[in-house]
């Protein structure tokens, strides 16, 4: 796969190097030649000093036949504009941009740019870890708006129905694993101590489910 990475800071250099080590053809663009020093000495991709909004710079980097493009600078305006241009003018099939300021994330979505907001995702993950150790996040979708959680059913919930625990529309039951065998649950499915219940939930949904769990324990 031919990939162009715009921005050679901490994230860009790590991304470019990881892609290179996996055997991909990587070109890195940055306005500052000094930024290329962030790359490990054994990186053998192509380096291009210049403005990523300049068509000549993009052309030299191989934009016309690249398979994927990542804009990961600390400038949201640059990431948005160059990603939109790459999508609409060069029709690169896979474009991802980094969102630096969470307040500007909506602009990426407005321009239909696939976006990763490390600040928003990181804050949500910390909030989850501070909230409870009973739910374990195993997969994050988008920027953490929806996550897949696993809950090990405690003894206090033995014999109760799944529907007693999952009561809001922001939390959806996915599967129950018992003795190593998974099944699709229904609201009437009976929970047993040690079952692993997998759910998909927003932050509001998992908070509501935690409250249900706490009320049952207290009762």
Which pLDDT tens digit goes with each residue over 74-97?
Answer: 999 999 999 999 999 999 999 999
Q: Are residues 139 and 110 in the same domain?
A: no
Choice among 48-52, 58-62, 164-168 with the minimum mean pLDDT: 164-168
Same domain, residue pair 116 and 163: no
The per-residue pLDDT for range 167-218, each reduced to its tens digit, is: 999 999 999 999 889 999 999 999 998 888 999 999 899 889 988 887 765 5
Q: Would you say residue 110 lies in a domain?
A: yes
Select from 59, 86, 120 the last residue of a domain: 120
Domain assignment present for 23: yes
The three state secondary structure string of the chain is CEEEEECCCHHHHHHHHHHHHCCCEEEEEECCHHHHHHCCCCCCCEEEECCCCCHHHHHHHCHHHCCEEEECCCCHHHHHHHHHHHHHCCCCCEEEEEECCHHHHHHHHHCCCEEEEHHHHHHHHHHHHHHCCCEEEEEEECCCCEEEEEEECCHHHCCCEHHHHCCCCCEEEEEEEECCEEECCCCCCECCCCCEEEEEECHHHHHHHHHHHHHHHHC
If asked whether residues 112 and 32 sit together in one domain, one would say yes
Most confident of 33-42, 93-102, 136-145, 152-161: 33-42
Specify the pairing of strand 114-117 against strand 146-152: unpaired
Q: Does residue 148 share a domain with residue 83?
A: no
**19 pLDDT higher than 60:** yes
Q: Are residues 91 and 158 in the same domain?
A: no
Please determine, for residue 31, whether its predicted confidence score (pLDDT) is greater than 60: yes
- Give the pLDDT mean for 147-158: 88
Q: Residue 127 domain-assigned?
A: no
Q: Specify if 65 maps to a domain.
A: yes
- Is residue 184 included in any domain, yes or no? yes
Confidence bin at 109 (pLDDT 50/70/90): confident
Provide the residue range defining the domain that includes 154.
132-218
Mark whether 147 and 211 lie in a shared domain. Answer: yes
Higher pLDDT, 76 or 112: 76
Mean pLDDT (whole number) for 117-137: 70
Q: What is the CATH number of the domain that holds 6?
A: 3.40.50.720
Looking at the fold, whether 103 and 154 belong to one and the same domain comes out as no
167 in a structural domain: yes
Query: Is residue 169 situated within a structural domain?
Result: yes
Give the chain's domain count. Answer: 2
Of the three residues 73, 96, 120, the one that is the final residue of a domain is: 120
Q: What is the mean pLDDT of residues 127-148?
A: 73
Based on the fold, state whether residues 110 and 166 are members of the same structural domain. no
Residue 29, pLDDT score:
98
Question: Final residue of a domain: which of 82, 98, 120?
Answer: 120
pTM: 0.67
If DSSP codes are grouped into helix, strand and coil, which group holds residue 212?
helix
Residues 108 and 148 in one domain: no
Based on the domain organization, do 89 and 27 belong to the same domain? yes
Across 44-63, average pLDDT:
96
């Amino acid at each position: 796969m031919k990939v162009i990475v715009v921005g050679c800071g901490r994230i860009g250099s790590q991304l470019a190097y990881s892609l290179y080590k996996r055997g991909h053809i990587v070109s890195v663009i940055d306005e500052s030649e000094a930024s290329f020093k962030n790359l490990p000495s054994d990186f053998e991709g192509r380096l291009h000093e210049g403005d990523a909004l300049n068509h000549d710079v993009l052309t030299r980097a191989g934009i016309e036949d690249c398979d994927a493009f990542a804009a990961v600078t600390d400038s949201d305006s640059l990431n948005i504009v160059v990603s939109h241009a790459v999508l609409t003018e060069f029709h690169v099939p896979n474009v991802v941009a980094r969102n630096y300021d969470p307040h500007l994330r909506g602009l990426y979505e407005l321009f239909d740019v696939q976006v990763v907001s490390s600040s928003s995702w990181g804050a949500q993950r910390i909030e989850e870890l501070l909230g409870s150790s009973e739910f374990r996040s195993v997969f994050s979708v988008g920027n953490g708006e929806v996550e897949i959680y696993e809950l090990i059913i405690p003894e206090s919930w033995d014999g109760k129905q799944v529907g007693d625990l999952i009561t809001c529309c922001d939390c959806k039951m996915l599967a129950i694993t018992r003795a190593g065998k998974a099944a699709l649950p229904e609201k009437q499915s009976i929970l047993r101590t040690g079952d692993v219940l997998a759910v998909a939930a927003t932050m509001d949904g998992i908070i509501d489910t935690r409250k249900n769990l706490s009320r049952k324990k207290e009762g």
